[in-house]
Homo-oligomer: A and B are copies of this chain.
């Protein structure tokens, strides 16, 4: 099967996977099209048959990241369909864990590496889908009196922004060790979510 043919067969996905690997080992600074090509065992310009440029590969990797995030979010939240508050908590934790476990993927998904996201429909779509899921959870929380009444979209952006801000500041190295040594990330996340929620503290 691994006979080296002229045509790879599934080069596009191979390139995406190679990109993710390189990303996780060398970080975003070490990600180059040529390295990706070499890792996939093709010539340095082969990727251009599948991606118009480097941005396009990055879009594909980011899209993959959002798909994975959505899957994890869905898996963690679905079991608690009758308990919105728990959905919020589980969802929040999944987001934070995803960021911690996939630092560099998270980084290219959110740190403006991808410059014209609008040009990548698959990216826009899965991105929208993720946000819609958050909106749904928020709406359920509002109906259950866990979050205060308000347009669910702006409430969702607030919840998302809260989590995203804290974890981003930590990952990008903007939070001093004095803080990091004193509080666990889970503590910080719970504290922040408690700030969101009406009533009794979250477990």
Contact = CB atoms under 8 A, between A and B. Distances in A.
A163 interface: yes
Given A29-B115, A165-B168, A168-B168, A191 B154 contact: yes
Interface residues of A, number: 46
A87 interface: no
Interface in A139-167: 150-151, 153-155, 157-158, 160-166
A10 interface: no
B157 A169 contact: yes
Nearest to A150: B191
A54 to B, nearest CB: 11
B195 A110 contact: no
Nearest to A29: B115
Contacts of A131: 176
